[in-house]
Structure 1
C-alpha cells in the first residue's frame, strides 16, 4: 500500500472531498442550462474523470493494485469485497458510470425534466445535480477510505511483533 498512516489517509479523503465539491458545482452549472442532454453528458464526463482520480489518490487504480506485493494485494481485494464496491480497482467506463446514474434514476430523471421550468426549475435541477454528484463522489471516497483503512490496520496487525523476554526472578 502506498498510504502508510491514518493521518495521511484522512488528508487524502479531505483532498478528494474538495475535488468532489468542485465537480459537483460544475455539474450544477450544466444542469441549470436548459439544453437537452447537456446535464447527463456533463455528469457522465465528470464521473468518468473523477472516479479514477479518487481511486488514484487512494492508490486503488487497477495499475496501482497490480504493482503491490501479493500480501498487500490480497488485503485490498478482501477489503474491496467486504465493502462491495463496483468501482474500486476497476477501469471506469461510460457504461459503468451510466449504470451508477441509473441507480439514482428518480433524481436524475427529475433533474432532467424540471430544468425546463423557467428559473425555479433550473435552480431545482442545479440543486439536484449538485446533490447527486456529491452523493456519488463522497460515497466513493468513503468506500476507498474504508478499503484503505481496513487494509492499513490489517497490515499493521499482521506485522506487529511481540517479543517475550526472559523472566525476571526476584
Structure 2
C-alpha cells in the first residue's frame, strides 16, 4: 500500500500538509501512549476518543477538508468533496467527528485496542506494551486519515491551504 507521500505524487503543497499532519499525529500518539500506560481500565479508551476527535479535524484542516472549511465552499464544491470522499472510501473527510464515526474508526484498529486492554493487567511490562500499542493504534488511524485526505485532494486537484504563521 502506498504511503501518503507517494499518493501526493510530487505535489509540494500536499507533501508539506502530510509532514505537518504527521507532526500532529506524533504529538497526539505520545499523549495516547501516556494515557495507555495508566493502569486503570477505560482511561485510555476515553483519552483515545478525545485525542481522535481533536486530531481528525486538525488533519482535515491541513488539507482544506475540515467541516468548517468545506461549509464555506459553494454547494457544488461541497458535493464534489463528499462524492470524492465516498469514492475513495474516506470515512471522516469533511464530516463532523461523531461517536458513531469514532466507533467505526476504532474497529479498524480493533485488535491493537483489545490487546492494549489485555496488557494492562500485567504489572510494568503490561503498561509498556499498552503504551506502545496505544501509540501505534493512534498513529495508524491518523496515517490512514492522512492518506484519505491526500486521495480526496488529489482526486479533486485541491491545493491545501497555506499553513498558519504560528504553525
TM over 0.5: yes
Structure number with greater Rg is 1
CA distance in structure 2 between the partners assigned to 1:127 and 1:98 by the alignment = 21
Q: Aligned runs of 1:133-148 on 2, under 5 Å?
A: 133-148=138-153
Q: Scaled by the length of structure 1, what TM-score is found?
A: 0.80
TM-score relative to the length of structure 2: 0.81
Say yes or no: does 1:124 pair with 2:110.
Answer: no
1:81 and 1:33 map into 2 onto residues whose CA distance is 37
- When structure 1 is superposed on structure 2, of 37-46 and 52-61 the one drifting more is 52-61
What does residue range 17-36 of structure 1 map to in structure 2 within 5 Å? 17-36=22-41
* Preserved contact between residue 6 and residue 149 of structure 1 (Cα < 8 Å): no
**Counterpart-to-counterpart distance in 2, 1:79 and 1:6:** 18
Structure 1: gaps spanning 5 or more residues: 154-170
- Mapped partners of 2:79, 2:45: distance in 1: 36
Residue 6 of structure 1: aligned partner: 11
1:26-49 Cα deviation digits (max 9, x unpaired): 101111110121110100000011
Contact map agreement 2:29 2:139 (CA 8 A) in 1: yes
Q: Which of the numbers 42, 53, 58 marks the counterpart of 2:58?
A: 53
- Aligned-partner Cα distance in 2 for 1:147–1:103: 20
Q: 1:95 to 1:77 in 2, by over 3 A?
A: closer
Verify: 1:84 aligned to 2:94, yes or no.
Answer: no
Q: Runs ≥4 in structure 1, deviation > 6 angstroms?
A: none
Query: How many residues are paired up?
Result: 149
